[in-house]
Chains A and B, each alone.
Chain A
């Protein structure tokens, strides 16, 4: 545990020297963060490899009990991506802006603060440190989102985020109070059998689902997520999408680990939430033109996949099917790790593109694959993994969930797992379409603007972190056996004490590796056969037309038009202009976009209405101190009267 705490302290202080240095603050921060990350990863791997669970008791608090930090396998699994992505983000951050730019020092300071809060949070097994870590994370993330605070978009995103995260914290305080009522202390422990079925248990589940779901970005509660991810600096987006939203999943996993007998409807609710998030997340991603908003909606989709796995595991646990339980939970937990890796990779690559281009608009890009080959390869690896295609890591975690739901086909009274299968298959096909669109419009074809034609490759400090993450994706994809023992330990923490079968056996992992290697070997052989290649010195053969221009290419919108049109009953795309009339039509402007259903269509109008009502109350808040004192006096008098009567 000392190792882990050292790591937290080093990470926390990583941005401090940069405050006093005139130059090279970013490099110092990156070195410190990497050092801390090495220590932290070592501590987490030690626990995951079967080392003893590490406990650290904080001094007694005014709340009565001692605060507690415990690095158990669940915490260690979540700690891995925290440290890995923090280090990658810090290295990447060296090249973000030069030291004299407004908020770069603050950015580095709070990046360390965010990483330390996250690392503290994953090990917290007591309500007080948990909430401390939770709030530290929320505030650090708020400051980081506001880095570009001269842009109204960033200010709005930060503000929405702040409101949402505090609403979620409120629900969590309620949940922990319930927990205290049930167990009598603030430390996280297993709840008694039968508690989950009571009214209090239901209230606990609903509060946790709301509070943690808001952080994770589950579909109706995702309203803060797309704009925040789009407005933050890209390495911050990577950290937020990769690990911050996973803290919501961590909370749900912790909750499930306390409950020995979850009711059936818990699993069903998680599953339905997962299916809704997954399908709607990818559907809305298809409609986006903003590269980072597109990736943000994919985070919602992947949270959906994780919830599908958690729901499946919970269904298995509540009906006494250990195989389904193991496969569901293993898939969900591995997907937590996998999504951190490939989404971190995608956001870092997107950051390089945004820096090279100065815009996030897909329709202004094109042809970057020739000018930024390494970034393109990194983005392709990330897309490949996120679509769940073999032989990368995304396939392995979806593989577990598929296996579990196929096995569960005959196990429940209703065909719940058929819904999981159908949801996963549709998500897979739509994600493939969406990433074909993103990669195709950004990196392929001809540059659509002069900026795209003049883009330069990112510096090595930005490429190295992408390389590390892509390597991790390939490693887990080709040799999933390596992570299987760790998964077994984490899944055991979610069980109810019964012995469970190892996932490597259930998932046929050696056979999977063999076939993945075979696929790779075949591809290499064919590549050899195609060489040597002739030089590329011809125009594209556009059916005999040799004068193709960038304007004639398919755009991102036209590529997705078929699917967006087919899904218009949920997406409600807005289209402006584009009507041509007459035999010789003149130029007409055309624009289409897909607004967010919750934020733009429900929450924003509702809050505008509330704000209107609140102006009526402004009469009472005139800004004069003596009037306020009068209010205090009146309130006290009223309370006194109430006590007397």
Chain B
């Protein structure tokens, strides 16, 4: 094999360790930041930025309750979401800081790991036999059937532009974001922003804060979880926000000379992303359910046009 399985050099190991720590510890900060932005814009003081950390600490000491209807599959959703999220996080680069485990084709595994998380979440929702959770599960699989092609068409465009199949080269390779790739890249990012908002259950696709379960997608699937499983669900959702957010931001981050500067740039980028999501959520309302497919098809079209632009 030309590639070794794990990083071998000392700087590589340090980078890997920082990557792993960021991946494991940082995610709960993002929802806190987004909520703070929303609160400030709405003129409230809002919950503390670290609120999700407190919630996770509290939940991990609470007893979990289980419905008589459930089987072991009920736990597969929370476990699968976190496990798949962590593995996917090892494949995506966090800015120009190197990826711990890059390889040709990791992009396919990356996408399928989210598919796995979705499959298990949907099954654990259906395990309760609740009509609300069935509703959320049905919506999730319906909308993701439209989000998946948008994601893959975007990958195809970037793979063609960079002649590579590894996320770190596709998102950060030399020449990405410059010259004739700039136009298609913008379109890909537009498509992926739509995928990002849909996959992370954000406004305008889904509203995590509503108190009407009939209108929700992701939150309604996890209604029955409590205690440690609920902690995993919340943590898994924030992990997904970080990982997909990194994928979305990477092509826009400038390259600097030192490794620590690259990390700073990445963290600043995350802050900007949280600000952006908070702004979108403050300024728009959630779409009617029937409008969501149209929004997602716009994402497919943007990615497809990006590919077309690369052909001419």
List chain A positions with a Cβ less than 8 A from chain B. Answer: 366-367, 369-370, 373, 376, 380, 384, 387-390, 395, 399, 402-403, 406-407, 409-410, 415, 418, 421-422, 424-426, 428-430, 432-433, 435-437, 439-441, 443-446, 505, 507-508, 510-512, 514-515, 518-519, 522-523, 526-527, 529-530, 533-543, 548, 550, 552-554, 558-563, 566
Specify the main secondary structure of chain A where it touches its partner: helix
CB of B112 closer than 8 Å to a CB of A: yes
**Contacting pair A550 B149 (CB below 8 A):** no
CB of B17 closer than 8 Å to a CB of A: no
User: Which of B46-54, B79-87, B177-185, B265-273 forms part of the interface with chain A?
Assistant: B79-87
Q: Which of B136-158 contact A (CB under 8 A)?
A: 137-139, 141-142, 144-145, 147-149, 151-153, 155-156
Min CB–CB distance A222 → chain B (angstroms):
22
User: Which of B124-132, B201-209, B278-286 forms part of the interface with chain A?
Assistant: B124-132
Please indicate which of the listed interface residues B111, B118, B129, B228 has the most CB atoms of chain A within 10 Å of its own CB: B129
Q: How far is the CA of A21 from the CA of B31 in the complex (A)?
A: 70
**Contacting pair A508 B134 (CB below 8 A):** no
**Contacting pair B131 A548 (CB below 8 A):** yes
- Known A436-B141, A550-B129: A395·B112 in contact at CB below 8 Å: yes
Partner of B103, one of A433, A511, A536, A540: A511
Q: How far is the CA of A43 from the CA of B116 in the complex (A)?
A: 37
**Contacting pair A543 B71 (CB below 8 A):** no
Q: How far is the CA of A558 from the CA of B142 in the complex (A)?
A: 12
- Known A425-B148, A554-B135: A519·B126 in contact at CB below 8 Å: no
**Contacting pair A436 B123 (CB below 8 A):** yes
Partner of B71, one of A373, A399, A418: A373
CB of B264 closer than 8 Å to a CB of A: no
A389-B115, A406-B156, A537-B68 known; 10 other A-B pairs, CB under 8 Å? A403-B105, A409-B156, A415-B307, A424-B152, A425-B148, A429-B149, A445-B127, A530-B78, A540-B128, A548-B129
User: Which of B58-66, B244-252, B253-261 forms part of the interface with chain A?
Assistant: B58-66
**Contacting pair B5 A522 (CB below 8 A):** no
Q: How many A-B residue pairs have CB under 8 A?
A: 245
CB of B291 closer than 8 Å to a CB of A: no
User: Please, which residues of chain A bring their CB within 8 A of the CB of B105?
Assistant: 399, 402-403, 406, 507-508
CB of B69 closer than 8 Å to a CB of A: yes
User: Please, which residues of chain A bring their CB within 8 A of the CB of B128?
Assistant: 444-445, 540
CB of B232 closer than 8 Å to a CB of A: yes
Between A and B, 7 residue pairs with Cβ closer than 8 Å are A406-B107, A421-B153, A436-B141, A440-B126, A444-B128, A522-B83, A526-B83
Specify the main secondary structure of chain B where it touches its partner: helix
CB of B13 closer than 8 Å to a CB of A: no
**Contacting pair B109 A512 (CB below 8 A):** yes
Min CB–CB distance A532 → chain B (angstroms):
10
Q: Chain B: how many interface residues by the 8 Å CB criterion?
A: 77
Q: How far is the CA of A539 from the CA of B223 in the complex (A)?
A: 13
CB of B188 closer than 8 Å to a CB of A: no
Q: How far is the CA of A439 from the CA of B148 in the complex (A)?
A: 21
**Contacting pair B130 A548 (CB below 8 A):** yes
Name the CB-closest residue of B to A511.
Answer: B103
Q: How far is the CA of A406 from the CA of B213 in the complex (A)?
A: 40
Partner of B145, one of A435, A552, A559, A563: A563
Partner of B134, one of A507, A541, A558: A558
User: Please, which residues of chain B bring their CB within 8 A of the CB of A515?
Assistant: 87, 90-91, 101, 109
**Contacting pair A553 B131 (CB below 8 A):** yes
Partner of B160, one of A390, A410, A446: A410
**Contacting pair A526 B82 (CB below 8 A):** yes
User: Please, which residues of chain B bring their CB within 8 A of the CB of A540?
Assistant: 67-70, 128-130, 224
**Contacting pair B82 A415 (CB below 8 A):** no
**Contacting pair B66 A429 (CB below 8 A):** no
Q: How far is the CA of A560 from the CA of B101 in the complex (A)?
A: 38
Partner of B123, one of A444, A446, A523: A444
Q: How far is the CA of A283 from the CA of B3 in the complex (A)?
A: 40
**Contacting pair A436 B119 (CB below 8 A):** yes
- Known A511-B101, A554-B137: A426·B67 in contact at CB below 8 Å: no
**Contacting pair A522 B307 (CB below 8 A):** no
**Contacting pair B134 A369 (CB below 8 A):** no
Name the CB-closest residue of A to B227.
Answer: A534
Min CB–CB distance B165 → chain A (angstroms):
5
Q: How far is the CA of A510 from the CA of B3 in the complex (A)?
A: 10
**Contacting pair B115 A445 (CB below 8 A):** no
**Contacting pair B131 A369 (CB below 8 A):** no
User: Please, which residues of chain B bring their CB within 8 A of the CB of A437?
Assistant: 141
**Contacting pair A440 B134 (CB below 8 A):** yes
Partner of B152, one of A422, A435, A443, A529: A422
- Known A399-B105, A543-B223: A444·B129 in contact at CB below 8 Å: yes
**Contacting pair B131 A542 (CB below 8 A):** yes
